[in-house]
């Protein structure tokens, strides 16, 4: 069990590397925040369409349930965001800020769910073969480095302090540990539904990219900076696809 928890820490804490590198150059990051937001959008799209969906579709005989779960994740987070807006009591002078003020909460919630599920995946792989558990943990870390860079850039754009970003992301990463424990002790019971839970997490990431990040990029750039947003988005998708390819080969 100690070895398995160590594997979960590899998968969680190593994924912070890219974000911590970004935070060492906060001033530079704020100057290039728009390309970083585009990079984040590409990372979320890439992890959804190049990693989560192909992985879940391989494990089910009928794909319809996977796409229903994806839709549930997407609509579920839309409802959560609308409820947050509905119950928010403060008046906002700018309608656009009202749309993006809950983005950090949605981002953190989505990442917590994803990291918890990553822990379950690592545990299931470990049960099958301890070496497979290690390679799965390394694969999780490699996949999440671009995503963590995106997370840090989004929170910086929302005005979060560096210390707060680091603490929140460490907490998120540590959620792989309870995921590992649940996966280890309830592996057989969860294995049949894990694909659908992952697909729902993909729906969350798709919602964040399509509903929050891309509109925010359009708002910040208007009709300007075509290459500054298109190239980072495409680059992020390509990097994610490459990492998925090498970690699954």
How many separate domains does the chain show? 1
In which domain, by residue range, is 53 found? 2-248
Residue found under tokens 């539904």: 193
pLDDT at 93 over 50: no
Q: What pLDDT score was predicted for residue 113?
A: 84
Q: What pLDDT score was predicted for residue 222?
A: 75
d(CA 151, CA 37): 9
pLDDT at 134 over 50: yes
User: Which pTM was predicted?
Assistant: 0.70
Distances (CA, A) of 182 to 3, 121, 170, 189: 15, 10, 20, 10
Q: What pLDDT score was predicted for residue 157?
A: 80
Q: What is the pLDDT of residues 170-192, one digit of tens each?
A: 888 888 889 888 888 887 777 77
Q: What pLDDT score was predicted for residue 110?
A: 79
């Amino acid at each position: 069990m100690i070895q398995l928890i160590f594997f979960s820490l590899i998968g969680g804490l190593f994924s912070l590397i890219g974000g911590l590198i970004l935070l060492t150059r906060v001033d530079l990051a704020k100057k290039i925040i728009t390309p970083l937001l585009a990079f984040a959008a590409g990372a979320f799209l890439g992890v959804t369409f190049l990693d989560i969906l192909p992985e879940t579709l391989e494990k089910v005989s009928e794909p319809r349930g996977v796409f229903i779960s994806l839709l549930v994740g997407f609509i579920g987070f839309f409802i959560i965001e609308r409820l947050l807006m509905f119950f928010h009591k403060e008046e906002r002078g700018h309608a656009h800020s009202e749309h993006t003020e809950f983005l950090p909460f949605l981002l953190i919630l989505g990442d917590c769910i994803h990291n918890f599920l990553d822990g379950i995946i690592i545990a299931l792989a470990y049960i099958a073969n301890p070496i497979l558990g290690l390679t799965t943990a390394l694969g999780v870390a490699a996949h999440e480095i671009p995503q963590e860079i995106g997370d840090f850039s989004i929170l910086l754009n929302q005005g979060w302090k560096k210390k707060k970003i680091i603490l929140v992301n460490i907490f998120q990463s540590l959620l792989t540990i309870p995921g590992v424990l649940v996966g280890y002790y309830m592996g057989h019971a969860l294995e049949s539904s894990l694909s659908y839970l992952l697909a729902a997490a993909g729906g969350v990431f798709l919602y964040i990219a399509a509903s929050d990040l891309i509109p925010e990029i359009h708002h910040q750039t208007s009709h300007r900076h075509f290459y500054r947003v298109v190239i980072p988005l495409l680059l992020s998708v390509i990097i994610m696809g490459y990492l998925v390819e090498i970690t699954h080969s």
